[in-house]
Amino acid sequence: ILPCQGVSAVPLNPIPDFSHVHIGLSPTTRRDGAMKVNSYFKNKGELMLKMKKWALEWKFEYKIVYSSKSRVIMRCVDENCSWRMRATKLSWPDFFCG
């Protein structure tokens, strides 16, 4: 594979620590579908999609620590970051609360 001609390399910056950021502070996530403590999701798929969008918006990475039909635990990939997200399936069909 040959490198593209005329394209300069883009420097990669380290992922910043967003542990001090509270979910829902972004102008785009404050509207419908805001991510915050005790948010409700129709199902696990909706929860995972919103987390992906939120991570893209805030430019951080997370990893799934545990996932089952009834529970999901995520955390920041940076070992120095204290951000965590836990969601549990409620008694209503497929609803998750995180």
In a domain, 51, yes or no: yes
Task: Collect contacts of 83-92 with beta carbons under 8 A, ≥24 apart.
Answer: 83/18, 83/19, 83/21, 85/51, 87/41, 87/44, 87/47, 89/44, 90/40
In a domain, 7, yes or no: no
In a domain, 25, yes or no: no
Number of domains into which the chain is organized: 1
In a domain, 24, yes or no: no
The residue whose two tokens read 């992922």 is 15
In a domain, 12, yes or no: no
In a domain, 58, yes or no: yes
> What's the pLDDT score for residue 41?
80
Distance CA 68, CA 48 (A): 12
Tell me which residue range forms the domain holding 69.
Answer: 40-92
List pLDDT tens digits, range 30-84. Answer: 444 456 777 888 888 888 998 899 888 888 899 999 999 889 999 999 988 888 8
| Other beta carbons less than 10 A from residue 33's beta carbon | 14
How much is the pTM?
A: 0.59
